[in-house]
Structure 1
Amino acid sequence: MTTLIGDPGLRYPLAVLNLDAVRHNLAEMDRHLRDHAALIAPHAKTTMLKEVLTLQTEPASTWGLTVADAVQGRLAEKVGVSRILLANQLVERDDIAWAARAARAGRTVISLVDTEEGVRRLDAALGDIGAASPRHPVLLEVGYAGGRGGTRTREDADAVAAAVAGSRHLVLSGVSGYEGMLGGDATPADIERVDAYLTGVVAVAARLAGRGALAGPILSAGGSAFFDRVIDICREPVAALGATLLLRSGCYAVHDHGLYARTFPGSRSADGPDLRPGATVWARVQSRPEPGRAIVAVGKRHLPYDAGPPVPLGIRYRDGVPGPLPAGAGTARLSDQHLHLDVPPDSDLTVGDVLPFGVSHPCGLFDRWRSVSIVDDEGRLVGTGRPDF
């Protein structure tokens, strides 16, 4: 007998992934990227689910996978990709050893550099490990004041490029950037900051390429909110350099009801794919202690909250039968194990009702769960995924 999500016999809370929505999003993104002459190395960190990563490697626009460290890199190997972008400067010896071993096994592994000391450490570690030829490819990461990794000035970028040129085991294969933290709420001023930053990243790539300092160049940028700006700003100059434009988006596969619903291209009437939210968390009402308040048995241990609260999705299930959640219901706050839900005082919401919640920023969802219930568009449970963090 088929089990449907919302069934009262299930044990809640449950993290739920709609795999049909994921397939839809991947097809939409693939179409968009092929139309705009860009490739993507989806970031594995979002779900760390083999079921999703395998699907993400299938489209024609997929170059490989992006990872943050060797732990994620090993999952990328299990998925079977031949090209891996390690989107950090490597400082941990385990990460460096893994990158060297993966390269010896025939995989292309690229990492980032943003300081002269980082270049020296990586070069020395590869020498100690006895890394074989060819040289380890790196991208020079371009940052901005107040951001995370990346060079801050033209002089810094030139010094790091010179350090790579003088190394024994590295080769400079392009330039990298990340615009997502500049985009804020996607106001016109936010978009201007994103565009100005990306223009600067392109300028660094053009300057280095003009000196012959880049080998087989890649320009990599693009999270899941402002990848349209990456394409618009970078596509033509990257093509003029004979380089590859490589996005690193990850959340697009599952999308969300919060951060990315507000900021991705479609929400800004910009050119972009038609994405659907694919990740939800379902939980029971545990208490109705006040007329205008319900307590739901799900909290910070189950839901991301760094980029906005969980979103009640306007429906409740009672004895497995769906019905409307009263208008005006909203998350008031989260405790460790409880969600405080504001509801109209005359709401008939009762203890035992099951509610689905949309999430904001799915990167913070999957690492909270040892297993994820996989459903189709009809809500039928079709499998279980286990995030490999």
Structure 2
Amino acid sequence: MASHARHPEKGTLVTGQSLLDDVSLPAAVIFEPALANNIAWMQRFADDHGAQLAPHGKTTMTPALFRRQLDAGAWGITLATAVQCAVAFEHGATRLLMANQLVGTPNMAIVAGLIERGADYCCVVDSVANVEALNRFFGARGVAVQVLIELGVPGGRCGVRDESALAALADAVAAAPAVALCGIEGYEGLIGGEQAVERIRGYARQLVAAVRGLMDAGAFGGRKPVVTAAGSQWFDLIAEAFDQADLRECCTPVLRPGCYVVHDHRSYLDALAEVKARHPELEGNLQPALAVFAHVQSLPEPGLAVVAMGKRDISCDPDLPIPLQRHRPGEPAHPLRHCTTRKVMDQHTMLAIAADADLRIGDVVSFGASHPCLTFDKWRQVLRVDDELRVLEAMPTFF
């Protein structure tokens, strides 16, 4: 199986091969030391704050990484769609938190099949209409589906917007015998602006207050409810609100960051610096683990290098790819300090380079990206490598 998504017929990858000498490039690569560090770091963070960790699997859709996260102590895996849930379940993840509404009978049928096979599944709801549709389908199927009420924010994405809508939805779930309420869910990632930190802290307090209010009303029927939020940017602020001894005694707080597993070279690198500034006591760091390696294919004029990598290989959103290092077999990697990405096309990246830059046709350049989700989904597999760029594992993706 080849390294690149669009050329599965090119060669067979053998563990122990050299990335530079033996692998068809471009290739998406994950460095094992940084990967191991990141998995341990976030699990330790959750443990230290008395929370469970359910990493968002949509970031990578790489079951080999799900297994690493679960083996390190993750409580479950978060997904965004019914199909993603099916992939995770088929590869051994049995606790599935779908942080999205389940709509459409084909999607409900997928989930019902998973529940019948033993999946501990829950999704989110934010409307009476959705609850009624779930009750009709799952009631006819003879199984129950667990749901979390999603608490939204004005101008945000999904979720109920006020206490009256929250109460009405809880009443609708109580009246639906095939739907079981198991907690409160939220997403803080769309809260921004100059007062973002305080607004997110306020939102986290709302989540806690909502789950307490529903408990007082007996909405969970004596079950220990889940309260969950936290993407990869503001996880520390959500953890602050969840890190209360009395809350942990009566609820299961769950954090759901996803991008941390490989981190990135700009957006989340900057976000982590803000986390560390808010919490200087935190030890260690997340480390960028994902890169795309590609060949220099042309040096057509002074100050320009063209690399055989494009939008089909690496994310260009929210930032253009970041040149990291030049690689040549038998030589140490060389940082590319005076080199910037000028333009990215389907299969070509144009680099602005110094006139005297030591780049040759056939050299390999490694690139970092912002927001790893949109790099993973371009590949059928990613390669896990060691610091010497020896291939340790080819990890299939399932997008």
Structure-2-length-normalised TM-score: 0.89
Equivalence for 1:168: 177
Pairs within 5 Å for 1:202-217 = 202-214=208-220, 215-217=223-225
Give 1:374's match in structure 2, choosing from 379, 384, 389: 384
Structure 2 alignment gaps of length 5 or more:
1-14
How many residue pairs end up in the alignment?
Answer: 380
Give 1:142's match in structure 2, choosing from 137, 151, 166: 151
8 Å Cα contact 1:13/1:297 also seen in 2: yes
8 Å Cα contact 1:329/1:343 also seen in 2: yes
The verdict on how the C-alpha distance between 1:34 and 1:240 changes in structure 2, with shifts beyond 3 A counting, is closer
8 Å Cα contact 1:179/1:222 also seen in 2: yes
Equivalence for 1:306: 317
Equivalence for 1:181: 190
Give 2:197's match in structure 1, choosing from 191, 196, 204: 191
Pairs within 5 Å for 1:258-277 = 258-264=266-272, 268-271=276-279, 272=282, 274-277=285-288
1:58-96 residue CA offsets vs partner (Å, 9 max, x unmatched): 123x21111112221122212323311111111022322
Equivalent residue of 2:244, what SS? Answer: helix
8 Å Cα contact 1:256/1:362 also seen in 2: yes
Equivalent residue of 1:288, what SS? Answer: strand
Question: How big is the shift at 1:176?
Answer: 0.3
8 Å Cα contact 2:236/2:275 also seen in 1: no
Code of the aligned partner of 2:45: H
Pairs within 5 Å for 1:179-258 = 179-183=188-192, 189-214=195-220, 215-236=223-244, 239=247, 242-258=250-266
The verdict on how the C-alpha distance between 1:323 and 1:24 changes in structure 2, with shifts beyond 3 A counting, is closer
Question: In structure 1, what is the Cα distance between the partners aligned to 2:120 and 2:79?
Answer: 13
Question: How big is the shift at 1:298?
Answer: 0.8
Equivalence for 1:296: 307
Structure 1 alignment gaps of length 5 or more:
none
Question: In structure 1, what is the Cα distance between the partners aligned to 2:278 and 2:371?
Answer: 20
Question: In structure 2, what is the Cα distance between the partners aligned to 1:19 and 1:94?
Answer: 38
8 Å Cα contact 2:310/2:349 also seen in 1: yes
Pairs within 5 Å for 1:20-31 = 20-31=33-44
Give 2:48's match in structure 1, choosing from 25, 28, 35: 35
Larger displacement relative to structure 2 (18-27 or 259-268): 259-268
Question: In structure 2, what is the Cα distance between the partners aligned to 1:121 and 1:2?
Answer: 52
8 Å Cα contact 1:373/1:383 also seen in 2: yes
RMSD (Å) for aligned C-alpha atoms: 2.1
Question: How big is the shift at 1:324?
Answer: 2.6
Question: In structure 2, what is the Cα distance between the partners aligned to 1:57 and 1:375?
Answer: 21
Question: In structure 2, what is the Cα distance between the partners aligned to 1:84 and 1:302?
Answer: 29
Code of the aligned partner of 1:149: C
1:328-360 residue CA offsets vs partner (Å, 9 max, x unmatched): 211122111111212122223232211001121
8 Å Cα contact 1:202/1:238 also seen in 2: no
Code of the aligned partner of 1:13: P
**1:102 counterpart = 2:108:** no
Code of the aligned partner of 2:17: T
Question: In structure 1, what is the Cα distance between the partners aligned to 2:311 and 2:102?
Answer: 31
8 Å Cα contact 1:45/1:250 also seen in 2: yes
The verdict on how the C-alpha distance between 1:292 and 1:123 changes in structure 2, with shifts beyond 3 A counting, is same
Structure-1-length-normalised TM-score: 0.91
Q: Identity, % of aligned pairs?
A: 38
The verdict on how the C-alpha distance between 1:222 and 1:258 changes in structure 2, with shifts beyond 3 A counting, is same
The verdict on how the C-alpha distance between 1:109 and 1:238 changes in structure 2, with shifts beyond 3 A counting, is farther
Give 1:63's match in structure 2, choosing from 70, 75, 99: 75
Question: How big is the shift at 1:189?
Answer: 2.6
Question: How big is the shift at 1:97?
Answer: 1.9
8 Å Cα contact 1:256/1:360 also seen in 2: yes
Larger displacement relative to structure 2 (206-215 or 253-262): 206-215
Code of the aligned partner of 1:94: P
